[in-house]
């Protein structure tokens, strides 16, 4: 049932979260595919029956399938957010960040001085 091997370098909570996300995603796909197949099979029955209750059931199935698709999309967004939280930005190592804040006037002065200096 579970084909994900825990990574030794990941905390167990993270492995569980990744496993749960994958399991939930697979289930949502299965549910959507099953619902779509049911809708495709049930649509001709409704067309032949021309029954209001039949169409009501069909439309409810379509609505439920649309909601499953929304859940799948939300699930993907949540996974992206969790990935972003897993990778905190750090300023370690040999990288040095230098920030220079200039106004347009400062930049114009610098360019003017450089032009005069090069003449």
User: What tens digit of pLDDT does each residue of 99-108 get?
Assistant: 667 778 877 7
CATH number of the domain located at residue range(s) 8-88 in this protein: 1.10.287
Reported pTM: 0.54
User: What tens digit of pLDDT does each residue of 79-93 get?
Assistant: 777 777 766 555 556
Vertex 30: Cα angle to 34 and 74 (nearest 5): 115
| Helix, coil or strand: residue 111 | helix
* Stretch among 10-14, 57-61, 82-86, 92-96 having the lowest mean pLDDT: 10-14
Instruction: Confirm if 55 and 63 have CB atoms less than 8 A apart.
Output: no
The CA–CA distances, whole Å, from 29 to 24, 36, 60, 69 equal 9, 11, 19, 9
């Amino acid at each position: 049932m579970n084909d994900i091997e825990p990574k030794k370098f990941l905390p167990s909570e993270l492995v569980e979260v990744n496993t749960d996300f994958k399991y939930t995603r697979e289930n949502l796909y299965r549910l959507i595919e099953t619902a779509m197949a049911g809708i495709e099979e049930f649509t001709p029955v409704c067309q032949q029956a021309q029954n209001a209750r039949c169409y009501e059931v069909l439309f409810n199935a379509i609505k439920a399938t649309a909601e499953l698709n929304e859940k799948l999309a939300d699930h993907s967004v949540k996974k992206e957010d969790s990935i972003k939280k897993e990778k905190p930005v750090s300023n370690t190592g040999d990288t040095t960040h230098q920030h220079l804040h200039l106004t347009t006037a400062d930049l114009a002065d610098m360019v003017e001085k450089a032009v005069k200096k090069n003449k």
